Amino acid sequence: MVDFIFEEHFKVRDYELDLQGIVNNSVYQNYLEHTRHEFLNAKGLNFRELHETGYDAVVIRAEIDYKKPLRSGDAFVVKIGMEREGRLKMVFHQQIVRTADQQIMVNAKIFAACIFNGRPIEPLFIFEKLGI
């Protein structure tokens, strides 16, 4: 297991809830993605700028374990750690923790790759900035 090296704080917004009164499953991917982009920013890598210069980070696989549901008003933290897998893949380990009681709500592994003008590449300058 890799160490968590970055975290982003959130609070549930009511429009993210569905008719069960819990955060809809798809919305957790929004939280996870926003945290990854903020993490990249903290490392000097901007998702939009990368896109505009031809580099697209793309998710190729997501494994998400939903342990407990977030509800209206819940504050939570999304933690992130990462490692390299093989020549081309980045693996983000992410955890969503409810602030009030430190319960783990979600565990996720997100596998990403880098595309340059439509083709997978080994983005050495990105790996270097990320320290992997």
Q: Which is nearer to its own copies, 3 or 40 (CB)?
A: 40
Check residue 13 for interaction with its own copies (CB under 8 A): yes
Residue 18 is among the residues annotated as catalytic for this protein: yes
Check residue 88 for interaction with its own copies (CB under 8 A): no
- In DSSP terms, 107 is beta-bridged to 65, 95
- Cα–Cα distance between 130 and 132 in angstroms, integer? 6
CA 30 to chain centre: 8
Helix (H) or strand (E) holding 41: helix 25-42
- In DSSP terms, 108 is beta-bridged to 64, 94
Check residue 72 for interaction with its own copies (CB under 8 A): yes
Q: Which is nearer to its own copies, 4 or 47 (CB)?
A: 47
- Select from 4, 7, 37, 81 the one that contacts its own copies (CB under 8 A): 37
The residues carrying an active-site annotation are 18
